[in-house]
C-alpha cells in the first residue's frame, strides 16, 4: 500500500467518526503518529532507541492532551477515537513492512505467486544468505559466521556436473 493510499484510507476511517475538521486534523497529525511511535518503540533495537522513540510518542500525547478540543470530548468518545486511530496506526505498520527486509521480500514473492514451493523458498534463502550483499560488501552468511564464505557460484560449479552437449540433429535430405 502506498502512503497516499494509506492517508486516503485513514481519512475515510476518521471521516466515519463524524468529527469536526479541526479534530480530524488533530487525530491525523498528532494522535495516530503518537500511537504509531508507541508501537514502533516496542520493536526498538536497544533501550536507548526505545527511550528516544517513547519520548517523542509521549511528547505527542502531551500535545494532544493539552488541546482544549481533545479535553472537551467525553471519555467514551475519546476511547472510540483512540480505537480507530490505533487501527490506522496498525494499518500503516502493515503497509510499510512489506518493503522492509527479507520477510517483506518473501511476503511480496508469496503475494505474487500465492504459494512458494519448498524448492523456491530454499533457493531464495540461499541467494539471500550467500549472494545478496549490503553496500559494505558483506553477505548475511558472512555477518552471521563472522568469516567470508566461499563464492556461491563457485561452490555450485564444484557440486554439479556440466550439462551434456546437445545431441546433433540429423539433417533432412532434400527430396
Longest dimension (CA), the chain: 98
Is residue 138 domain-resident?
yes
In terms of Cα–Cα distance, which of 87, 17, 27, 19 is closest to 63?
27
Domain that holds residue 9: 3-97
In terms of Cα–Cα distance, which of 9, 8, 54, 10 is closest to 34?
54
Q: Same domain for 11 and 83?
A: yes
Is residue 91 domain-resident?
yes
131, 139 contact by CB (below 8 A): yes
Q: Same domain for 90 and 105?
A: no
Q: Same domain for 33 and 86?
A: yes
The domain tally of the chain equals 2
How far CA 168 is from CA of 4, 29, 59, in Å, comes to: 58, 71, 76
In terms of Cα–Cα distance, which of 64, 6, 9, 11 is closest to 35?
64
Is residue 129 domain-resident?
yes
In terms of Cα–Cα distance, which of 43, 12, 44 is closest to 28?
12
Determine if the pTM surpasses 0.75: no
CA–CA distance, 129 with 124 (Å, rounded to integer): 9
Is residue 168 domain-resident?
no
Q: Map grid coordinates 505498520 to a residue.
A: 93
Q: List the chain pLDDT tens, one digit each, 175 residues.
A: 445 667 788 888 888 888 999 999 999 999 999 999 999 888 888 899 999 999 999 999 999 999 999 999 999 999 999 999 998 888 776 544 444 566 666 666 665 555 667 788 788 888 888 888 888 888 888 887 788 888 877 887 888 888 888 888 877 776 5
Is residue 125 domain-resident?
yes
CA dihedral 71, 73, 79, 84 (to 10 degrees): -100
Amino acid at each position: 500500500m502506498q502512503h497516499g493510499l494509506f492517508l486516503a484510507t485513514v481519512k475515510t476511517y476518521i471521516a466515519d467518526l463524524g468529527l469536526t475538521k479541526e479534530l480530524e486534523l488533530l487525530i491525523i497529525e498528532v494522535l495516530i503518529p503518537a500511537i504509531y511511535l508507541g508501537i514502533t518503540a516496542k520493536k526498538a533495537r536497544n533501550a536507548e532507541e526505545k527511550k528516544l522513540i517513547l519520548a517523542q510518542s509521549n511528547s505527542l500525547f502531551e500535545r494532544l492532551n493539552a488541546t482544549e478540543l481533545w479535553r472537551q470530548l467525553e471519555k467514551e468518545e475519546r476511547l472510540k477515537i483512540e480505537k480507530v486511530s490505533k487501527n490506522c496506526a496498525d494499518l500503516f505498520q502493515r503497509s510499510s513492512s512489506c518493503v522492509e527486509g527479507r520477510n517483506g521480500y518473501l511476503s511480496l514473492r508469496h503475494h505474487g505467486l500465492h504459494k512458494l514451493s519448498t524448492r523456491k523458498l530454499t533457493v531464495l534463502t540461499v541467494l539471500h544468505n550467500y549472494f545478496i550483499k549490503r553496500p559494505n560488501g558483506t553477505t548475511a552468511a558472512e555477518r552471521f559466521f563472522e568469516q567470508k564464505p566461499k563464492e556461491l557460484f563457485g561452490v555450485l560449479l564444484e557440486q554439479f556436473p556440466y550439462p551434456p552437449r546437445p545431441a546433433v540433429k540429423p539433417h533432412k535430405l532434400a527430396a
